[in-house]
């Protein structure tokens, strides 16, 4: 059975107090935080028919502290892989792909 996005949100809230799903530009985010959005879908086929679907989310940890342990907590989630790191506006961004 497919897991719900609300279950992912609850899981991410166990890692950080501030979790945002597809935040609009008008929202004032509090740091450190986790920002996530649906990114892709993996489909497995059997007999040329879709057999299973798994949603992929892009999960970004945004923190002022470059030595934060929050990225390591996200990286430890099942089916999670590191995508890239970048800085913007004096904030550190660790981007992960997470199938959930």
Count structural domains, the chain. 1
Here the CATH number for the domain that contains residue 74 is 3.30.2000.30
DSSP 8-class letter at 2: P
pTM: 0.89
Residue range 51-65, pLDDT digits in tens: 888 899 999 999 999
Strands (E), the chain: 19-21, 33-46, 49-63, 80-88, 91-99
pLDDT of amino acid 2: 54
Residues 9, 88, 77, 50: is their CA dihedral positive or negative? positive
Query: pLDDT 10s digit of each residue in the chain, 100 long?
Result: 457 899 999 999 999 999 999 999 999 999 999 999 999 988 889 998 988 888 999 999 999 999 999 999 999 999 999 999 999 999 999 999 999 9
Expressed as residue numbers, the domain containing 77 is 5-99
Dist CA 75 CA 88 (whole Å)? 21
Alpha-carbon 24 to chain mean position = 16
């Amino acid at each position: 059975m497919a897991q719900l996005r609300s279950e992912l949100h609850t899981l991410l809230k166990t890692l950080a107090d501030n979790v945002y799903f597809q935040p609009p530009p008008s929202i004032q985010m509090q740091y450190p935080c986790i920002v996530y959005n649906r990114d892709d879908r993996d489909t497995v086929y059997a007999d040329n028919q879709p057999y299973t679907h798994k949603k992929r989310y892009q999960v970004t940890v945004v923190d002022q502290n470059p030595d934060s342990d929050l990225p390591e907590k996200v990286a430890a989630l099942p089916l999670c892989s590191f995508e890239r790191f970048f800085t913007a506006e004096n904030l550190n961004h660790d981007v992960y792909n997470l199938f959930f």
